[in-house]
Amino acid sequence: MKMNLTELTAIIEAIIFAAGEPVEGEALAEIAQVDLDTLNIAIERLKENIEEKNSGIILTEVGGAYQLATRPDLFDYVVKLVEPKRQTSLSNAALETLSIVAYNQPVTRSSIEFIRGVNSDGALNRLIERGMVEECGKLDTPGKPLLYKTTNEFLKCFGLKSIDELPDINNIPLQLTFYDM
């Protein structure tokens, strides 16, 4: 089926809207029966169309997948419509564990605990429950320990397209507190 760019853009928008969650670029191309280069042109056109309309939505990319989302500056209006989930912040232990996984992935539980210096079972389990971290295989060593990595939910929460957008760990200021003895 031969289609023009306007039709393809509408098809891509309909698929992403109907999915309600991120759709991989490869899946979009397969469903629309186009190659990835053509898909990327249609994605750019869709972004332009949305921006030109000053729409209440944006097209976001998360880990090679695309999703329609509310414009961040309109969040306060949308939250009035839906009962927000109880947002709980991550504990320091969970943030430390998440950082270790993000910068060392794939990583084993014992490596996380070695870096933190304490048992990390609880923090790691909470991150898995929240969908921020997931199992991604087993290390090919005796005992076959599980490996963990961050998820697309992690990328979404931190506004990253991919893990490559994490700040360079060497450029993160280290905050130390010294106490007089």
- Answer whether residue 153 is part of any domain: yes
* Model confidence at 181: pLDDT above 50: no
- Answer whether residue 26 is part of any domain: yes
- Answer whether residue 144 is part of any domain: yes
pLDDT in tens, 4-52: 889 999 999 999 999 888 999 999 999 999 999 999 999 999 999 999 9
Residue 119 domain boundaries: 92-168
Task: Give the three-state DSSP class for 34.
Answer: coil
Rounded CA-CA distance 11/137 in Å is 36
Q: Of the candidates 78, 108, 140, which is a domain's last residue?
A: 78
* Model confidence at 125: pLDDT above 80: yes
